[in-house]
Structure 1
Amino acid sequence: MKIISTNIGNKKEINWKGKLVTTGIYKFSVKDPIFLDIEDVRDDSICDRKYHGGIDQAVYGYSLKHYDYWKELYPNLEWELGMFGENLTIDDLDESKIHVGDTFKIGEVVLEATKPRQPCMKLGVRFNNMKIVKQFWQQDYPGVYFKVLQTGYVKAGDTLEQIKSYPKNKTIAEVYQSKREEKGEN
C-alpha cells in the first residue's frame, strides 16, 4: 500500500446553523513529511480529545479508493485529499482485510491497527451536509485508526508494509459493522 497524501489541519471555528463549532477535520495535503507521534500527528489540530487522538487513535488512515464512491454521491464538492479528516490517504486501504492488532511499517514508523473511525457531526460540517454521517455509517468504508508503536516521519510516496497479521482478531470492517448495529445505524 502506498501513501498518496499526508494531511494535517489547523483548528477552525465555523458557524454551523447559528452555533460556533470548533473542529480539526479540515485537513489538507502537505508536501513536507509529517511526524507520527505517540498520541497524535505533530502540528495537526485535534479539538476533541475524547474522540480523536490519544494512544489508540493517534493516526487516521483512509483509502483513496473510497473517494470514488463518495465523489459519485457528492459530485459538486471541491474534492481534496484529507476530506475525511485522515492524516494518511492510502491508495488501497481495505478495512475488510485489516485485523485489529495488525502491524505495519512505513520507513522507520511502526503502526498498529486499532479500530474504525465512527462518524460524527463534524464530518457533516466538512461536507456541508449532515446526510454524509448516516451515509458513512451505512458503508463499510470507515478508515482505520492506528496506534504508533515507533514514532517517526512519513511522506507521500512511502510504502505501508504489513509486518504482522492477527487473522483470529476481528477485521476493522467487522468491528465497524458491530458498532453500526449497536447504534442502530443499519
Structure 2
Amino acid sequence: MTTYQLNSINIGTPMTMIHEGKEIKTSLFKKPVHEALFLHKDHFQGDEQADLINHGGEDKAVCVYPFEHYAHWEKVLNTKLEYGAFGENLTISGMVELDVCLGDTFQIGEAIVQISQPRMPCYKLAVRYNAPQLPHLVQNTGYTGFYFRVLKEGTIERNSTIELLEKHSQKISINDVNHFMYHDKDNLKAIEKILEVEALSSSWRKMFLKRLEE
C-alpha cells in the first residue's frame, strides 16, 4: 500500500484585493482548518470560489500543492510561507508532479479522488505576493500542483492518510503534461497520447485539441 501525508486542509471565501487601481475578488487566501470537512462533488465544505469560470467545478474540485516546493518559493519570495500559501485546498507531502499521473486515483478519509489536470498558475498569485513573474516562474519550474476531481464524496479529517488506489495505466505524469503544455508545445504525438487519457479535464482537453487543429 502506497500512502502519502496530508499536511493541511485549507479553505477560504472570496475577499477583495486592489490591483492597478481595480478591485479583484479572489479566494486565494485559504487558511488551515482542523475540523473534519465534507468533500462534495465540486468543493470542500466551507470553501468558496470567487471566479467560477476559471476555478472550481467538478474537474477542479480540489486544488493540491506539494509541500516539497515551499522551501524553493520561500527563497524566491524571501518570505515564510504558511499552509495554503498557493491557494490550495490540500497541502501534501510525497506527491510531486514528477511522480503522480493523470488519472491516478486515491482515497482520502471517506472520499475517493482522481487527478484531472495540472494547476494553471493565475495572475492573482503575482498580485498576492507582489511578484509579477511568479506565474511564469511556476510554469517554468513545473512546481504547479494539480487538481483532483471527486469520484466519491465523503468526510476528510486533518489526520487522514492519502492512499493510492490505482496508478493510471498510461503513466503520464503531471510533469509531462506541464512540459508539453508550456515547453515542447509542437510535440503532436505526445499531445495525442495525453488526449487518450479519459481522466484529462475538459478545459485542458480543449486546449490540447485546439493546438492539434492549429
Measured against the shorter chain, the TM-score band is over 0.9
CA 1:26–1:182 in 2, change beyond 3 Å: closer, same or farther?
farther
Matched with 1:157 is: 159
List alignment gaps of at least 5 residues for structure 1: none
SS in 1 for 2:106: strand
Alignment coverage as a number of residue pairs: 183
Measured against aligned partners, the alpha-carbon deviations of 1:5-34 in whole angstroms (never above 9, x if no partner) come to: 000011101111201100011111111122
**1:43 corresponds to which letter in structure 2?**
G
Higher relative contact order (CA 8 A, sep 6+): 1
Matched with 2:108 is: 106
Counterparts of 1:44-83 in structure 2, within 5 Å, are 44-75=47-78, 77-83=79-85
Which residue of 125, 133, 137 corresponds with 2:127? 125
Matched with 1:21 is: 24
Q: Distance in 2 between matches of 1:2 and 1:30?
A: 16
Of all paired residues, the percent bearing the same amino acid is 33
Q: Are 1:32 and 2:27 an aligned pair?
A: no
- How big is the alpha-carbon RMSD for the aligned residues of Structure 1 and Structure 2? 1.6
In terms of fraction of residues, the more helix-rich structure is 2
Q: Distance in 1 between matches of 2:57 and 2:39?
A: 12
Moved over 4 A (4+): none
List alignment gaps of at least 5 residues for structure 2: 187-214
Q: Distance in 2 between matches of 1:3 and 1:177?
A: 26
**1:29 corresponds to which letter in structure 2?**
P
